Structure 1
Amino acid sequence: MDILVGLQWGDEGKGKFIDHICPNYDIIARFNGGSNAGHTIFWNEKKVTLKQLPSGVFYSHVQNVIGTGTVVNPSQLRNEIEQLSLTYPKLIFKERLFISKKAHLVLPTDPYWDIYFENSDDYRTIGTTKNGIGCAYSNKTRRQGFRISDIFQTEFTNTIKKAIHFAYTELTEKGVEMIDFDSMMMKFLADIEFLKELSIIDTELFLNSSLNLGKRILAEGAQATMLDIDHGTYPFVTSSNTIASAACVSLGVSPSKVGEIFGVFKAYVTRVGDGPFPSELKDELEDELRTKGHEFGSNTGRPRRIGWLDLPALKYAVMLNGVTQLIMTKADVLNEMEVVQLCEHYEIDNKSQEIAAMDDTFSLALPKWKRFEGWKTNFSAISKEEELPKELLAYISFLTNQLQTPLNYLSIGPKREDIISLSEN
């Protein structure tokens, strides 16, 4: 089993690269998160954002798994499937989609809890997507959640209605505006019926038996390393573990079965929501790069914060994940710049720091910059490594040497074919 993860704060272009390597795999397995993440893919010249569906749905030979470590919103999953079927009526993928019996449900009241927490002065504001993902994982941890297998139990409707009504009443008392309870339940139960029509299986058994048969599996991570609940910029993180080792736990596959670990990062950095961001730009260049790179959340539309590449944070992410192959995206966005900078190290309390530490000192980190000569080229005319500008190759060579990890792929545009394989550097 190979694993693919993001190395920054998300939005690195993981979906595009997964789409690029999908032909090499038999199974794509999503191992964490829910509808709070969007992987953007261009298929038949159309932009598609997959929120809960794995990124292998467009390939007829690929089976797709929504693993145990995920949380599933039945309504959003139904909408995503129906919209994809409407956009691509010839695409047949539902019989190639398998959902873990042990994955947990996102209840219709969970997003309202997000709204309440974000708007209340009594709780931290962290910039959540308001999809109810944190609440679903909280219910899971408190052993008050509902697994997908529960939907087949005789008493499920009565039990779930009681739980949702309890939450609904509490939210109402707190002044949260919601839709009518009966309408909420009617919609939710209709979506549950849709969910029952899908293949809900023991994905751990399926994945391990597939490996024994020699099938190739790619574990697909949502969000990214710096948003990991344990190892990221807590509390400004997501609600699940996002690093490579989480794939084994969430999918029920032994670490001994892991092969390559792909790490995707941008030639610069972005993040959505609140939290420390040492290399953040706060001038007109930020707006320029945001516009040029179309840096708006694929799920929420929120403008992303922009910064120069953060090498100490990238070293930290490569270390945590044990990355074996690097993929850099959006090198074209930095095109036409006279100077490209990156944060080479931090200064904290007058001391130099070469690798990030996710503790209370991270918010105090002062970036120390390294300047590179910018590159100016027509990326639409480039199809191989030899045609890349020498300035970009120098940037790549520096990163490879610093990270001690090969950078094997470079994305130089938004289209599916805008990926170049690089030689050992």
Structure 2
Amino acid sequence: MNRVVVGLQWGDEGKGKVVTYLSRYHDIVVRYSGGANAGHTVNYGTFKVVHHLLPSADFTRNVGVAIGNGVLLDPQVFTKELIELKERFPEYSGDIFISENAHVVLPVHKEVDQRVDEVLKIGTTKRGIGPACADRVMRANVRIAELHDEKKARSLLEKNLSLKSLYNLTFDVEEVLDDLLNFYNVIKGFVVSSIQMKRILEEKSALFEGTQGVLLDLDVGTYPYVTSMNCSSSGVSAGMGFPVKIDETIGVFKAYTTRVGEGPFPTELFGEEGEALRKAGHEYGSTTGRPRRCGWLDLPLLNYAIEVAGVDTLVMTKADVLNGFEKVKVCVRYKDGRELLSLRDLDKKEPVYEAFDGWKSLESKEFDRFVNFIEKETGKPIKYISTGEKIEDIVEV
């Protein structure tokens, strides 16, 4: 059985914990998009692990991991994570596979990212993802496959770095190449072709891990304030390089809403109200440390993401953060009364709220009413509810 887990908001929904919990029911966890701009924090109880590139498998159970061609690999970040994996989980013996068609993020990409965002003001993580994607499309980037042949790698790298003169940036080709080749020596035992990856996954039960969220998807998100890749469920096959059969699509959402970076946010809270929610949820980015913008749950946006991603079942996270709030609000519609069919005019939407009595614990009848209301309004069952930070703090409804 293959399943995919996607975020239904602007990322930071707690997918890492959910994927780690669900991975025990699968042979392998597969990342199909994103790069080191993702930050999935997993609390094992006595320590936390932040995944930027390694999939969020439960490493205490030797679940395998795989990285598809749709993932952008930052050599420094990935090498660091491999070292941390060995240190944190010395007994880990699961398989690790990396598609040879995955592209790398070069140091120059981060420099370009910084300069471009100063103009575009998207609010990126400055991890070089956008520029690396651009070079990928321009056929001027280096893939893992090219690192097998130093001559090919040097040729592509020279072309890539020569383009950066447009930004008045210069890098030493030999220095960058040496770093890339050293990185390849570290990972070459994990590298497989697309055909090999396809055959491996055909023999396994796979859990595909989405990064960011549907509302940040390059095509169906709040463009231009989006990530550079397809992070919705539609990106699975493209991110693997071959058709993938998905048996269940699981959508993860917070009981409220957060966003990092620029872009429209109809239910955003300001002042003391927004700060109270931020403090209660410790809402600071795993990758950047930036304070997240916070607001109430937005049902029109949630239903949009559910339909676009073809979600079958839901997972609610961070409802425990709202424990003790006197009132909890939910945006049930917008003032213009229109069904949300497009995100084009989202910046003009004014929310209409319904207020719910708060709850002191997730065992209370007030919380049950909240859950039942969301299930009714979305038409989808909430299968799991996160009750705290740790992996085991999750219940099946």
Query: Within 5 Å, which residues of 2 pair with 1:288-327?
Result: 288-327=276-315
Give the secondary-structure state (helix, strand or coil) at the position aligned to 1:410.
strand
**Alignment equivalent of 2:357, drawn from 354, 357, 373:** 373
Distance 1:142 1:346 in 2: 41
Partner of 2:223: 234
Distance 2:46 2:339 in 1: 42
Give the secondary-structure state (helix, strand or coil) at the position aligned to 2:11.
coil
CA contact (8 A) 2:5 2:250 kept: yes
* Mapped pair 1:389 → 2:364: yes
Query: Within 5 Å, which residues of 2 pair with 1:242-321?
Result: 242-254=231-243, 257-321=245-309
CA deviation vs aligned residue, 1:99-154 (integer Å, no higher than 9, x gap): 001111111210000011122xxx31100000101111111112222221111124
Distance 1:376 1:179 in 2: 57
Distance 1:152 1:254 in 2: 26
Give the secondary-structure state (helix, strand or coil) at the position aligned to 1:288.
helix
Partner of 2:74: 73
Give the secondary-structure state (helix, strand or coil) at the position aligned to 1:353.
coil
CA deviation vs aligned residue, 1:12-32 (integer Å, no higher than 9, x gap): 000101111111101111010
CA contact (8 A) 1:204 1:252 kept: no
Partner of 1:342: 330
Partner of 1:192: 184
CA contact (8 A) 2:108 2:171 kept: no
State the 1:179 CA deviation.
Answer: 8.3
Distance 1:16 1:168 in 2: 39
Structure 2 CA distance for partners of 1:270 and 1:410, relative to 1, 3 Å: same
Partner of 1:102: 101
CA contact (8 A) 1:26 1:62 kept: yes
Identity of aligned residues (%): 38
Structure 2 CA distance for partners of 1:87 and 1:179, relative to 1, 3 Å: farther
* Mapped pair 1:358 → 2:343: yes
CA contact (8 A) 1:312 1:356 kept: no
CA contact (8 A) 1:204 1:251 kept: no
**Which amino acid in structure 2 is aligned with residue 324 of structure 1?**
D
Structure 2 CA distance for partners of 1:146 and 1:68, relative to 1, 3 Å: same
CA contact (8 A) 2:248 2:312 kept: yes
State the 1:286 CA deviation.
Answer: 1.2
Structure 2 CA distance for partners of 1:396 and 1:57, relative to 1, 3 Å: closer
State the 1:169 CA deviation.
Answer: 4.3
State the 1:207 CA deviation.
Answer: 3.5
Give the secondary-structure state (helix, strand or coil) at the position aligned to 1:357.
coil
Partner of 1:141: 137
**Which amino acid in structure 1 is aligned with residue 349 of structure 2?**
A
CA deviation vs aligned residue, 1:248-294 (integer Å, no higher than 9, x gap): 22224535x21011000000000100000001001212111111111
Partner of 2:41: 40
**Which amino acid in structure 1 is aligned with residue 84 of structure 2?**
Q
Normalising by the residue count of structure 2, what TM-score does the alignment of the two structures yield?
0.94
CA deviation vs aligned residue, 1:218-263 (integer Å, no higher than 9, x gap): 11111110000000000000000011121122224535x2101100
Give the secondary-structure state (helix, strand or coil) at the position aligned to 1:375.
coil
Q: Which moved more, 1:147-156 or 1:400-409?
A: 147-156
Moved over 4 A (4+): 167-170, 178-186
Structure 2 CA distance for partners of 1:209 and 1:19, relative to 1, 3 Å: closer
**Alignment equivalent of 2:209, drawn from 215, 220, 224:** 220
CA deviation vs aligned residue, 1:321-371 (integer Å, no higher than 9, x gap): 111110000001111011100111112xxx212335211x11100011111
Q: Which moved more, 1:216-225 or 1:181-190?
A: 181-190
**Which amino acid in structure 2 is aligned with residue 42 of structure 1?**
N
Give the unaligned 5+ runs of structure 1.
380-387
Distance 2:174 2:273 in 1: 50
Distance 1:180 1:286 in 2: 46
Distance 1:74 1:290 in 2: 33
State the 1:90 CA deviation.
Answer: 3.5
Distance 1:305 1:44 in 2: 27
State the 1:180 CA deviation.
Answer: 7.3
Structure 2 CA distance for partners of 1:170 and 1:63, relative to 1, 3 Å: same
CA contact (8 A) 2:258 2:292 kept: yes
Q: Which moved more, 1:245-254 or 1:325-334?
A: 245-254
CA deviation vs aligned residue, 1:302-339 (integer Å, no higher than 9, x gap): 11000100000000001011111100000011110111
**Alignment equivalent of 2:121, drawn from 115, 118, 125:** 125
State the 1:59 CA deviation.
Answer: 4.5
